[in-house]
Structure 1
């Protein structure tokens, strides 16, 4: 084993000997030519000296461990990695705020849904370019996606409210036409029903709700204890499930599909765009304004 090591090192020793000797000779020649005021020749031999010295010391630089540079390089890389992780963490925090801000801008007269989708896509691409884990990016997107589902849920909720209004109108009309001959139990039942309807008017929360990932679950929860006929619930459910097929794709893909954008823009252009569908569903029951 030592003999093999000796054979490996010997060629390097020979090369260094001749390189060193050549450098000394060239340096001496350079000095002599400089004294003789032969600057052109001295320049050539000086360059040869520098080249020979470079090749002489080059093996020393093959390992960056010489002069402790490897340790310094590792330290610098560690600092860069730490700064990158801090940048990624900061980007996640700021992006979550930005996503929420884009979502909240839909509450008032602000940029159109198409513009907001463009912001959403650009922000999402920036996070992906930072090399963040998909799970972290999806979590950051969630505040905005909640607002998408909320805006898709609102037309269904408008239908629910209209149906509750219709129930209240019918019962109020019957109550107003009650006479002395109307059984007190019926009057009490009508008053109780009207109060129950009023108590069920408030829409359950959608933002930050675990059910936001399943629109059909939101629909079922809303319909579950409404004081309206089961036939009405079935018809409302048919409309809600159509929207569910759009919202659930948004939540599953963490992106806004063209179908979702079309639906959002429809209600953005006309907040009462749900009325034709409502009239179509309940046309045979009457009582629709």
Structure 2
């Protein structure tokens, strides 16, 4: 077959002409078997010479059938693209809501999301469509980041309460300390009252607003308030990058895995305020 493919088309064309002429001659001589064999050889030469060079086939209704097949193939690809979009939407949503207690890790989720993103891109799903499909996941990434911040602040509440308790134990007659502790309790209660509950509105919450309300400004000193603001700004930046990408960024996945559980909350407390939680 390779030998035939390597033959120049004009040699096969010459062979076809020779076979055609000889077939006519033997037919004229009434040698029908020989004429028939030469006719078959003529047809074979034509096929081998013409078809490999043809970019389209227009004989009879073949071209019409080919066009219909191409249209069917295009429709199939379009349907496959829509199917992939639906499958990805289900995958993103399942991945977002599943295993909310810490497994799989954010890094593992990111690897799966990246694979789905590559599949959608290969099917020519637009970036805008891919971001819309990934929206449930991105919204829940924001909740994970917010929860890490809020839990860190809650631990700081207990650290401050422990400070007041130790002071009152050491100086039980110090009225000023008792009054400061009462003010702290009232300020923390007011702070908790104004906190947002973004889990009640996963699709519509505003992370920036929620972080602002969760800042402990009313009951901490200026230095600690600034440290909390820096952490809130870091979290907001991580979320904005995730929204822009349409999924986990490497930094966001690393942050959630590092500060997304009890040990992580305590570590963040130490890194932000320089205080530990026992």
User: TM-score normalised to the size of structure 1?
Assistant: 0.64
Say what the alpha-carbon RMSD is for the aligned residues. Answer: 4.7
Q: Which structure carries more relative contact order (alpha carbon 8 Å, separation 6+)?
A: 2
Aligned residue in 2 for 1:247 = 239
Match status 1:258 vs 2:250: yes
Runs of 4+ in 1 over 6 A off after TM superposition: 19-22, 52-55, 166-173, 188-192
Aligned residue in 2 for 1:120 = 113
Cα pair distance change 1:70/1:116, threshold 3 Å: same
Take 2:68 and 2:93, find their aligned partners in 1: how far apart are those partners? 38
Cα pair distance change 1:83/1:105, threshold 3 Å: same
Aligned residue in 1 for 2:264 = 273
Take 2:188 and 2:102, find their aligned partners in 1: how far apart are those partners? 35
How many Å apart are 1:146 and its aligned residue?
A: 2.4
Q: 1:75 aligns with which of 56, 68, 71?
A: 68
Match status 1:156 vs 2:153: no
Cα pair distance change 1:30/1:199, threshold 3 Å: same
Take 1:152 and 1:195, find their aligned partners in 2: how far apart are those partners? 23
Cα pair distance change 1:247/1:168, threshold 3 Å: same
Aligned residue in 2 for 1:46 = 39
How many Å apart are 1:24 and its aligned residue?
A: 6.9
The residue matched to 2:230 in structure 1 has which SS?
Answer: helix
Take 2:78 and 2:125, find their aligned partners in 1: how far apart are those partners? 9
Match status 1:26 vs 2:19: no
How many Å apart are 1:105 and its aligned residue?
A: 2.4
How many Å apart are 1:202 and its aligned residue?
A: 5.3
How many Å apart are 1:263 and its aligned residue?
A: 1.7
Aligned residue in 1 for 2:206 = 211
Q: Which entry has the higher C-alpha Rg, 1 or 2?
A: 1
Take 1:164 and 1:288, find their aligned partners in 2: how far apart are those partners? 10
Unaligned runs of 5+ in 1: 1-18, 174-180
Aligned length: 251
The residue matched to 1:107 in structure 2 has which SS?
Answer: coil
Aligned residue in 2 for 1:199 = 193
Note if contact 2:24-2:35 (Cα within 8 Å) is conserved in structure 1: no
